Structure 1
Amino acid sequence: MNASSAKAPRKIHYGWVVVLLAFVTLLVSAGIRSMPSILMLPFEKEFGWSRGGISGVISVGIFLYGLVGPFSAAVLERFGIRRVIVVSLAVLAASLAVTPLMTALWQFELLWGLVSGLATGMMANVLGVTVTNHWFVKRKGLVVGLLTASAATGQLLFLPLLAQITAQIGWRYAVFTAVAVIFVVMILVAIGMRNHPSDVGLPAYGEERVTKPEPFRGSIFLAPLQALRSSLRSATFWLLAGTFFFCGFSTNGLIGTHLIPACGDHGIAEVTAAGLLALMGMFDLIGTTLSGWLSDRFDSRWLLFWYYGFRGLSLIFLPYALSAGPTALLVFSVFYGLDWIATVPPTVKLASQEFGKAKSGMIFGWIVVAHQVGASVAAYGAGAVRQWLGAYTVPFVVAGFVCFFAALMAIRVAKIGAAARQQLQA
């Protein structure tokens, strides 16, 4: 090797460009999914819709967002990452563009419950897992952490801006702003996204040679169902799905949907409340990325135990924080934000270890379904309880205690994992 070649700069692997584009896509998708929390109070005032009715629409959207996950894994493998993202962004933009014309709750249900739920579901956590499996052999935990954290960053960038637009010139202009951002991202993805390292003549990051991807075999509808059937025999699947049910119950279904209205009940302005969610997003970007780094180095089961335990404590503290004032809410936002979505990288790693690379995307998609079922229950249930009791105290405290139960389930995953390894060694 001569001196000039020794000093030649090392090129950045194209996988990191793909990660950046996936990060931006997931960021925008998450920002759009978080918009109903801003729209809830304006819709109550303008259309006279009840808190429970609006929560029901959000609940359906959250459920479909999760349900499409396993099938999106198969669709991504069959048709390619770039094509699926571009089509999904186009459908999402169309549903948002029509939203300002709606006049009835059923139209909100159609546009945000059905169409938006399905479109954003194609760009959920399963997309991050698919990108990671295609492009990376090393640094997988870090990449999953980064792509998962993009959801929090979406709130960080979108919520304060959209809340400010809504407060000053109306919610319709906030929707139009979101549509414009979607079109920009769609163009970037169409130009720069690639499906597999072999498309640019590279090995995956951490490999030495270029390999062609295995062609997708089977039906995009039957393959996820077959993966689910095989996973139902695994106790690890049930425990991971169970912990993720409680994860969804205690995050986007509850806090993501109802924190802004809960702050409104205590006289806290909508823009200020959106700022609290944005602050959580900033700290979750740190916490979830760090979680990915930790999952490459430590036992993921114990990471989950601590994440769920700390989240439970923060949720039990929330009713006091809402009454105590800005300092207490700031403490909650930092403490809760650090592990909002930090549970994803350890869960992805456990699913990959249990079910293998080929099936892990679809099976993790089913685990995400459990997450979104829990989120859907919380989104509707918290709204109904608030309408019944006039306060959010009961839903927040209940969510705190179910997080403690999820922490215990995570330890049970550890026991089953150890038993399985002993059987394999015998």
Structure 2
Amino acid sequence: MTTAAPTRTHRIHPAWWVAAVTFLALVGAAAFRAVPGVLIHPLRDEFGWSVSTISAAVAVNMALYGLTAPFAAALMERFGIRRVVVGALLLTALGSGLTVFMTASWQLVLLWGFAVGLGTGSMALSLVATVTGRWFVARRGLVSGILTAGGATGQLVFLPLVAWADTHWGWRSASLGTTAAALAVVPLVLWLLRDRPSDVGVVPYGGTATDDRISTDRDPVRTGAARTAVRGMVEASRSRPFWLLAAGFFICGLSTNGLVQPHFIPAAHDHGMPVTTAAGLLAVVGVFDIAGTIFSGWLTDRVDPRVLLLAYYGLRGLSLFALPTLFGPDLHVSMIAFIVFYGLDWVATVPPTLALCREHFGARAPVVFGWVFASHQLGSAFAAFGGGVIRDVTGSYDLAWFLAGGLCMVAAAASISIRRNLPPPAETLLPTNPEEAAAAQSHG
């Protein structure tokens, strides 16, 4: 007879250190993603590239950022979280740093699009799903909200720094600065990030050794990460909830990362607002995103996630309908109100979406959520390129805002129509044999 090794006790559970370094890794990778929105005008001025050309590179980045996610989740199961995250940070830094030498638009697509898209995609929300699924039983919704905020906020809080560096030293200094941000996180990842609670002699936070064993036994990957990722997609595609979640997340990406993040600053500049002011407004979105996403995670542990998604998408759509009337050379209270709301709502959709993935797909949720997130980034890519085309063709972004607002209403309807898949409460289960029925009756 064998006995389980005793677990070690810690003043602070190691799960929180893993969550902290994951947060920093997501912020470091997101630093580069702050660059495109600020540098559209500088690149156009130096190289003569159109907004559509630059937007095409951003679109490739966003598409790969999403399409890499399910494969990254599988690779984390095959090779470990730490190896994948370190490799992703180094690839992101390489792609960002080499942009200072580019002279042609194809190089922009290769570096901004492919290299950084693959690197940051390997640390996308599939990393959040993997870390929360392995290390936490209690507080999963809250932790997923915090980690999601790290990735989304990192894209926005760097904007004023990037705009300031571009103004004083040019866009190349901004690109090198984001390279340094990604590299700075690598030593912390090597030091603190571990693959499983059992690696440091503990159980998942709020769980037992059984929870860790279940996670290990049900991991979908031992070999063939790509095959596992594709199989996860094939199996999930037979489920109606998967398509509803994917459709909602497509529109989520379209209305945030794809449209607002790269095109808000150029749109504001079209109306006479200084670039540094517009960048500061998006940074405020990042600040409020932290509060909004964490609060959404807290709510997800307590409220039907479908209702949360209905509210998030519906209110976002209404705000986008109003946005074209808020632009101007001066900053007004109405624009500040929009920025605060959009910050609270920016990625508040992630915790309830992740909760619904866990509810419907169980242990395969990280890989399935990777595909749902891929749809998010395809929506981002569609809007990043489409927004540039609309601006070049019509001379204004107004049509893009209105279309995005209408699609948010569609996402709200799709989300509330997802069925629940909850197990019945234990006290409502009926006895399965006459002896259990008699015992239950005698204790009644």
TM-score normalised by L of structure 2: 0.90
- Report the CA distance between 1:164 and its aligned residue: 0.5
- Contact 2:35-2:174 within 8 A present in 1 as well: no
Q: Which residue is 2:138 aligned to?
A: 138
Q: Distance in 2 between matches of 1:304 and 1:90?
A: 35
Assess if the C-alpha contact under 8 Å between 2:273 and 2:329 holds in 1: no
- Other-structure match for 1:247: 252
Partner residue in 2 for 1:316: 321
How far has the Cα of 1:10 moved from its partner? 6.9
* Post-superposition offset of 1:417: 2.5
The CA distance in 1 between the partners of 2:260 and 2:78, in whole Å, is 35
Please say if residues 95 and 112 of structure 1, whose CA atoms lie closer than 8 Å, have aligned partners that are also in contact. yes
Q: CA deviation at 1:29?
A: 1.5
On the 8 A contact 1:155/1:277 being kept in 2, the answer is no
Q: CA deviation at 1:418?
A: 6.8
Q: Does 1:81 align with 2:81?
A: yes
Larger radius of gyration: 2
CA distance in 2, matches of 1:156, 1:323: 21
Partner in structure 1 of residue 282 of structure 2: 277
Quote the residue 1:186 is aligned against: 186
Cα distance per residue 1:382-402 (max 9 Å; x no partner)? 100100000000000110111
Shift of 1:151: 2.3
| Partner-residue secondary structure (3-state), 2:26 | helix
Aligned to 1:166: 166
Q: Could you list the runs of 5+ residues in structure 1 that have no partner in the other structure?
A: 1-8
In the alignment, what sits opposite 1:257?
A: 262
Secondary structure of the residue aligned to 2:327 is helix
Measure the CA separation in 2 of the matches of 1:82 and 1:322.
Answer: 44
- State the SS of the aligned residue for 2:222: coil
AA paired with 2:339?
S
Per mean C-alpha deviation after superposition, the further-off stretch among 154-163 and 137-146 is: 154-163
Distance across 2 between alignment mates of 1:31 and 1:419 = 38
Letter in 2 for 1:265: D
Residue in 2 that maps onto 1:3:
none
1:301–1:411 Cα contact (<8 Å) kept? yes
What is residue 126 of structure 2 aligned with on the other side? Answer: 126
2:18 aligns with 18
Give the Cα separation in 1 of the matches to 2:407 and 2:422.
26
- Counterpart amino acid of 1:336? Y
When the two structures are aligned, how many residues end up with a matched partner?
413
Among residues 355, 358, 368, which one is paired with 1:349 in the alignment? 355
Residue 323 of structure 1: how far off its partner (Å): 3.5
Q: Once the 2 structures are TM-superposed, how far is the Cα of residue 157 of structure 1 from its aligned partner?
A: 3.1
SS in structure 2 at match of 1:326: coil
State the 1:209 CA deviation: 3.1
Closer, same or farther: CA 21–419 of 1 in aligned 2, 3 Å? closer
- Counterpart in the other structure of 1:335: 341
The amino acid across from 1:145 in the alignment is G
Q: Report percent identity of matched pairs.
A: 46
Give RMSD over aligned pairs: 1.9
TM-score, normalising length: structure 1? 0.94
Structure 1 partner of 2:434: none
1:217 equivalent in alignment to 2:217: no
In the alignment, what sits opposite 2:40?
40
Alignment of 1:82-101 (within 5 A): 82-101=82-101
8 Å Cα contact 2:309/2:412 also seen in 1: yes
Aligned residue type for 1:417: R
Cα deviation, 1:307-354, whole Å, max 9, x if unaligned, reads 001101111111011148412221110111111100000000000000
- In 1, the alpha carbon distance for the partners of 2:415 and 2:10 equals 41
1:34 shift after superposition: 2.4
Partner of 1:4: none
Distance in 2, Cα, partners of 1:179 & 1:224: 29
1:161 and 1:223 map into 2 onto residues whose CA distance is 40
Q: Is the 8 A contact 1:152 1:280 kept in 2?
A: no
Distance 1:418 1:412 in 2: 13
Structure 2 residue runs of 5 or longer lacking an equivalent are 1-8, 431-444
C-alpha distance in 2 between matches for 1:32 and 1:135? 28
